[in-house]
Amino acid sequence: MWYAAAWEWEVAEADNKLARTICEVPLVFYKSESKGYVALDNRCCHRSAPLSLGRVEGDCLRCMYHGLLFNPAGEVIEIPGQDHIGANMKVRSYPVCSKGGMLWIWMGDADRADESDIHDFPPLSQPDQWRGFDRGDYLHYDANWLLIVDNLSDFSHVAFVHANTLGGSEAYAYDTQAEDLEKLDNGFKVVRWHRNSAPPPFHRKVIPAAEHEVDLDRCNTMAMYLPGVFLMETLFEPVGDNADQGRRREYRNCQFMTPETRNTTHFFWDYLHGSDLDNPDIAVSLKDSLMEGFMEDKIFIEEQQKLLEKSPDFAPKSFTADRAFSHFRNRWKIRLQEEDETQPLQIKDNPRRIL
Amino acid sequence: MWYAAAWEWEVAEADNKLARTICEVPLVFYKSESKGYVALDNRCCHRSAPLSLGRVEGDCLRCMYHGLLFNPAGEVIEIPGQDHIGANMKVRSYPVCSKGGMLWIWMGDADRADESDIHDFPPLSQPDQWRGFDRGDYLHYDANWLLIVDNLSDFSHVAFVHANTLGGSEAYAYDTQAEDLEKLDNGFKVVRWHRNSAPPPFHRKVIPAAEHEVDLDRCNTMAMYLPGVFLMETLFEPVGDNADQGRRREYRNCQFMTPETRNTTHFFWDYLHGSDLDNPDIAVSLKDSLMEGFMEDKIFIEEQQKLLEKSPDFAPKSFTADRAFSHFRNRWKIRLQEEDETQPLQIKDNPRRIL
Amino acid sequence: MWYAAAWEWEVAEADNKLARTICEVPLVFYKSESKGYVALDNRCCHRSAPLSLGRVEGDCLRCMYHGLLFNPAGEVIEIPGQDHIGANMKVRSYPVCSKGGMLWIWMGDADRADESDIHDFPPLSQPDQWRGFDRGDYLHYDANWLLIVDNLSDFSHVAFVHANTLGGSEAYAYDTQAEDLEKLDNGFKVVRWHRNSAPPPFHRKVIPAAEHEVDLDRCNTMAMYLPGVFLMETLFEPVGDNADQGRRREYRNCQFMTPETRNTTHFFWDYLHGSDLDNPDIAVSLKDSLMEGFMEDKIFIEEQQKLLEKSPDFAPKSFTADRAFSHFRNRWKIRLQEEDETQPLQIKDNPRRIL
């Protein structure tokens, strides 16, 4: 599978030698002169020195411990002070693809990497239609990525965790239901309408004061794909006012969750608006509001992680609202079994029942 | 067994939702409207979210992740957005009893909980006879609780660890012996006299200057009960001066040691004086003096813990003064064996020989 | 084997009771009144209290928990409040020898300790010929000591890691080779010439400005002995100018690496110069320069350690320059096998292939 690995700006800011662990594999990312982005095992095959302390030279990366030079395929092409280079002097190189400013990495057998399998998110590349943050944002979670997937898979939590930020009221949990759950081989899609409600705080902050008292119908159309790609379309429109399309507003949201280790996660996200594109304050306000909500989630999710580590035998009890992520976890397990023979680098088993 | 769990003020200060781990079980304590104090497993049966991030509603506690409502028995009585509630939707509830401001919890089979088994300490509820701190105090130890029990079971350490604080001189170790060791099924009692000695520093600080040079007979009567309840009566009286009962002074001391985990301990204590009750400075001075002594102990005990973790095969060598805690550890092992079949939640085995 | 344990000044600064773990054994070092330096297991045989919290009394050390008094042989000779002392009341005592301000400890069978086996470094005791730091220096590494041995065993790293400090240019790696590798039963010796090169920065800082542009021949003669004793003689002389011996300059360097645990190391060192002995600025400048270089190494070595802990199956690929430390690691393994039956305290196996 393709995993979201890094925003392009992260590589640039790391002096073009970004050290990042994905699926418990330490990697280094650099941008080569003519071959695009490269990902290698971040340890020299000689003495395990980190290549991320190295130096980019054209298309190659030099280990700065004893000076070995690696090409983008991970092969050593120079050993200072020695002419012969053994055929085993190499590190693994991984397929990397950049889309919309996000680097995706294929952790499995390189022969099976197909860039069309990446769940692209077009709004990131459509600045004339969608305006997001100055640059995509990054958070680090001390939690297994599936706990974040769980969180996003059942929006009834919005009512309680985010009552005063993203949700707006606890009624959201009682009055709304996930609808039209579409089970996919590689994830699911689901829709959630909330009718006749006041604008939730994050939305209210970016619309004209004149609209603050107008009740809205709110619709979230969500897709969640393996391994942890969340794409959401959000719509607000005045209740029953089909004529008033000027007050119809839409957002686009992507959240990419990539396991760093079993217990930690890289989290990438952006939140884009489709109206009033020239007003830079809107993206700032949305980012602040969403971040406030994410921090509310993060407390819960990281505490869940701690409790699950203390209680490895915990067996969760499910109810109706859990259908979406139950399906997702099922598909994950099946995919792992399928890949078992060919993809030795994947995280294969989960030591805890829920994780 | 009943374990000291928390001072009532701790629950109040935690916004009435105190998260505390006891015997390696994460718990939440709250005060219900009409059913007194409640202790539940601190993880929602749904997705393991911590209930201590929840909200008390009357007698119940609501998980603020997806909104499940738990009654004091630990049963889910409401799932937002769903009518049916499965019979397995519950968490474990533990018997709790409050005495003298201290909450006691029964970690075993609820049917066998008998509040009369709690080792009550009456001075905590007799403000007309005994004056303690404004509120009972709490310390956290990075050490197995039995190492603290050991410490309190042999007062010869007072001579060396506390020569300048609680002891007064090293002579205490050479000249005094534990007397009248009474071995109990659930602990022991012991008496230690120190005759013809100058007032130790902590006592000297709270008596009139005119008495500073008067030699005293000092007697500590100590009881230690399973799992870690230490109760002590202390008497100071002028040597041989039976007529001078006005200078006879007594103290009462409780120290409750409760395992948080194998390697960490909750420590609760108070130190009460029986004279000059209206002088608030005495309790302040005693608390400062005792705390100074406890910190001297804590350094030793936490270093012991570290050394024992590094040296799991360490076999302690015993001598005469160890009879008290040898008996106590013996009773502890026997009690664990007895409870083995019925009390799966207890810490059953000790991975290290001494711990 | 003898391990470098501590500088004498470290014991003095620790109030003559230095706690230090060597080969995963917690020890206490103290200077007795008449029997020289003593090393004992740093845990009382009674309850595992640390003797380093004790009190030196003449030749003895008193545990300040319950007052047991230990003689330099580790035997308890006094138990306060008890007349009889059991024959098993003792801790292990280790042979210690002081040379040139450094304490050496023998971790094996005391009967086999022979002080002539210590790799003495005479310059430390020849202040009329060699001038070092005010006192020998100490660093702590979060890495297995063999990674530091590796580092010192192949000076080609000097070109890359220390290009701007100790090395001077990357040419050092391409143009120079280790010569005359002499394989010893207990280590190796090797020579490395660098001819016709500008003075490297650390040297340039301490020679007269008039010599800055004079090209030099540089020779490092290195010896590395088990378990981790590095001794180096460094010579700089003007190229081909045999007459100009006034500009010939020499240094002496010792680096002692002692395993604290499998993953951490005590590192002791000094760097001495043989000219201009009365100028105190030279030692200060050399220490600053070398320390700058050591910090460059430390980043690599501690990152290697982290990567190796993450990748326990990493199998290093070797090339020609690795002959020296390959031989050293081999000798280390053979020595461990030989000692296996008699030296139970040694670190016997390495859980990771490279460590």
For the stretch A299-354, pLDDT in tens is 999 999 999 998 878 888 988 888 999 999 999 999 888 876 554 433 434 333 34
Cα dihedral: C295, C298, C303, C309 (round 10): -160
For residues A201 and A70, state if they share a domain: no
Q: Does a structural domain hold residue C344?
A: no
Round to whole Å and give the CA distance between B68 and A156.
11
Distance set, CA B192 to CA A83, B156, B165, B167, B224 (Å)? 82, 10, 18, 13, 14
Instruction: Say whether residue A125 is in contact with chain B using an 8 A CB cutoff.
Output: no
Looking at residue A75, what is its pLDDT? 97
Nearest residue to A115 (alpha-carbon basis) of A89, A97, A141, A127: A97
Residue A270's CB is within 10 A of a number of other CB atoms, namely: 26
Q: Which residues pair with A194 in a beta bridge?
A: A218
Q: What is the pLDDT of residues A276-311, one digit of tens each?
A: 999 999 999 999 999 999 999 999 999 999 999 988
CB contact under 8 A, B317 and C79: no
Coil, strand, or helix at residue B258? Answer: strand
Three-state SS sequence of chain C: CEEEEEEHHHHHHCCCCEEEEECCEEEEEEECCCCCEEEEECCCCCCCCCHHHCEEECCEEECCCCCCEECCCCEEEEECCECCCCCCCECCEECEEEECCEEEEECCCHHHCCHHHCCCCHHHHCCCCCECCCCCEEEEECCCHHHHHHHHHCCCHHHHHCHHHHHCCCHHHHHCCEEEEEEECCEEEEEEEEEEECCCHHHHCCCCHHHCCCCEEEEEEEEEECCCEEEEEEEEEECCCCCCHHHCEEEEEEEEEEEEECCEEEEEEEEEECCCCCCHHHHHHHHHHHHHHHHHHHHHHHHHHHHHHHCCCCCCCCCHHHHHHHHHHHHHHHHHHHHCCCCCCCCCCCCCCCC
- The reported pLDDT for the residue numbered A245 is 64
**Is residue A179 less than 8 Å (CB to CB) from chain B?**
no
**A144 and A236 both lie in a single domain:** yes
Rounded Cα–Cα distance for residues B220 and B271 (Å):
13
Q: Which of A154, A307, A354 lies at the smallest CB-CB distance from B26?
A: A307
pLDDT category at C241 given cuts 50, 70, 90 is low
Look up residue B247 and give its two tokens.
């200078």
Number of Cβ atoms within 10 Å of the Cβ of B339: 18
Contact B196, B239 (CB under 8 A): yes
How many Å separate Cα A138 from the centre of its chain? 9
H-helix or E-strand spanning residue A11: helix A8-13
Domain final residue pick, B117, B139, B154: B117
Q: What percent of chain A has pLDDT over 90?
A: 75
What's at A172, amino acid-wise?
Y
Q: Determine the structural domain holding residue B192 and report its residue range.
A: 122-339
Check: CB of residue B257 under 8 Å from CB of residue B148: yes
CB atoms within 10 A of CB B3: 22
- How high is the ipTM of this complex? 0.88
Q: Which of C117, C146, C171 is the last residue of a domain?
A: C117
Helix (H, G, I), strand (E, B) or coil at A316: coil
Closest C-alpha among B241, B266, B252, B285 to residue B121: B252
For residue B210, give both structure tokens: 């005119």
Residue B249 lies in a domain: yes
For residues B302 and B173, the answer to whether their CB atoms sit within 8 Å is no
> What are the structure tokens assigned to A208, written together?
């004209």
Same domain membership, residue B229 and residue B304 = yes
- What whole-number distance in Å separates Cα of residue B299 and Cα of residue B148? 11
Residues 6+ apart with CB under 8 A from A323: A178, A181
CB contacts, 8 Å: A46 with chain C = 316-319
For residue B284, tell me if it sits in a domain. yes
The answer to whether the beta carbons of residues B345 and B23 sit under 8 Å apart is yes
* pLDDT at residue A155, rounded to an integer: 86
How far apart CA C346 and CA C233 sit, in angstroms, is 31
Enumerate the residues of chain B whose CB falls inside 8 A of the CB of residue C88: 317
Lowest mean pLDDT among A299-303, C214-218, C254-258: C214-218
Q: Note the pLDDT tens digit of each residue in C260-288.
A: 999 999 999 999 999 999 999 999 999 99
Mind giving me the DSSP string for B20-52?
Answer: EEETTEEEEEEE-SSS-EEEEESS-TTT---GG
Of C170, C308, C321, the CB nearest to A82: C321
User: Are the C-beta atoms of C313 and C303 separated by less than 8 Å?
Assistant: no
Q: How far is residue B159 from each of residues B171, B177, B225, B292, C81, measured CA to CA in Å? A: 7, 12, 24, 15, 11
- The neighbour count for residue B292, using CB atoms within 10 Å, is 15
- Where do we find the tokens 């700058």? C292
For residues B35 and B109, state if they share a domain.
yes
CATH number of domain containing A217: 3.90.380.10
* One-letter-per-residue 3-state SS of A214-267: CCEEEEEEEEEECCCEEEEEEEEEECCCCCCHHHCEEEEEEEEEEEEECCEEEE
Across the beta sheet with A55-57, the strand order is A55-57, A60-62, A69-70, A76-78
Q: Has residue C353 been placed in a domain?
A: no
Size of the A and C interface in Cβ pairs below 8 Å: 76
User: How many angstroms separate the CA of residue B145 from the nearest CA in chain A?
Assistant: 20
- Range scoring the smallest mean pLDDT among A193-197, C33-37, C351-355: C351-355
**CATH number where B90 lies:** 2.102.10.10
CA dist., res. B52 & res. B29, Å (int): 8
Mutation for A interface: C307, C314, C318, C329, most A CBs within 10 A:
C307
Token couple for A211: 């609209």
**Is there a single domain that holds both residue B312 and residue B172?**
yes
Mutation choice for A interface testing from B27, B62, B65, B91 by most A CBs within 10 A: B65
Asked if C316's CB is within 8 angstroms of A45's CB, the reply is: yes
Contacts of residue C66, defined as CB under 8 A and 6 or more positions apart, other chains included, come to B154, B156, B157, B160, B173, B321, C44, C46, C47, C49, C79, C80
Pairing mode of beta strands A55-57, C102-106: unpaired
Residues B181 and B305 in one domain: yes
Whether residue C354 lies inside any domain: the answer is no
Given a cut of 50, the residues of chain A with pLDDT beneath it are 343-355
Of A78, A94, A117, which residue constitutes the final position of a domain? A117
Task: For residues C101 and C272, give the distance between their C-alpha atoms in angstroms, rounded to a whole number.
Answer: 14
Interface partners of C (3+ CB pairs, < 8 Å)? A, B
Is the domain of B227 the same as that of B211?
yes
Partnered with residue C168 across adjacent β-strands are none
The string over A36-57, giving b where at least 16 C-beta atoms fall within 10 Å of a residue's C-beta and e elsewhere, is ebbbbbbbbbbbbbbbbbbbbe
Structural domain count, chain A: 2
* In a domain? residue A319: yes
Joined tokens for residue B163: 């020569």
The alpha carbon torsion through A181, A183, A187, A189 (nearest 10 deg) reads -30
- Locate tokens 């909980």: which residue? B113
B93 plus B166 within the same structural domain: no
A154 and A291, same domain (yes or no): yes
Contact B173 C80 (CB under 8 A): yes
Is residue A39 located within the same domain as residue A132?
no
Which chains have at least 3 CB atom pairs separated by less than 8 Å from chain B? A, C
Residue A282's region, left for phi above 0, alpha for psi from -120 to 50, else beta, is alpha
Residues in chain A: 355
User: Smallest Cβ distance to B160: which of C42, C66, C86?
Assistant: C66
Residue A203 CA neighbour count, 13 Å, CB half: 27
Yes or no, beta carbons of A173 and B80 under 8 Å apart: yes
CB-CB contact of C281 with C269 (8 Å)? no
DSSP string covering A128-190, please? TT-B--SS-EEEEESS-HHHHHHHHH-TTHHHHHTIIIII--THHHHH--EEEEEEETTEEEE
- Tell whether the torsion through CA atoms of A329, A330, A334 and A337 is positive or negative: positive
Task: Name the nearest CA neighbour of A94 among A70, A74, A116.
Answer: A74
Which amino acid would we find at residue B121? F
Q: Over the stretch A8-23, which tens digit does the pLDDT of each residue have?
A: 999 999 999 999 999 9
Shared-domain flag, residues C232 and C140 = yes
Residue A45's φ and ψ, nearest 5 degrees, are: -70, -15
Each residue's pLDDT tens digit in chain B (355 positions)?
A: 999 999 999 999 999 999 999 999 999 999 999 999 999 999 999 999 999 999 999 999 999 999 999 999 999 999 998 889 999 999 999 999 999 999 999 999 999 999 999 998 999 999 999 999 999 999 999 999 999 999 999 888 888 888 888 877 888 888 888 888 999 999 999 999 998 989 999 999 999 998 999 999 999 999 999 999 999 999 999 987 665 666 789 999 999 999 999 999 999 999 999 999 999 999 999 999 999 999 999 999 999 999 999 887 888 898 888 899 999 999 999 988 887 655 443 343 433 334 4
Is C347 domain-assigned?
no
Determine the distance in angstroms separating the CA of B54 from the nearest CA of chain A, rounded to an integer.
Answer: 10
Q: Do the domain assignments include residue B108?
A: yes
Whether the ω angle into residue C227 lies within 30 degrees of 0, i.e. cis, is yes
> Which of C154, C161, C311 is the closest to A64 by Cβ?
C161
- Looking at residue A242, what is its pLDDT? 63
C116-125 average pLDDT score = 92
Same domain? For C277 and C191 the reply is yes
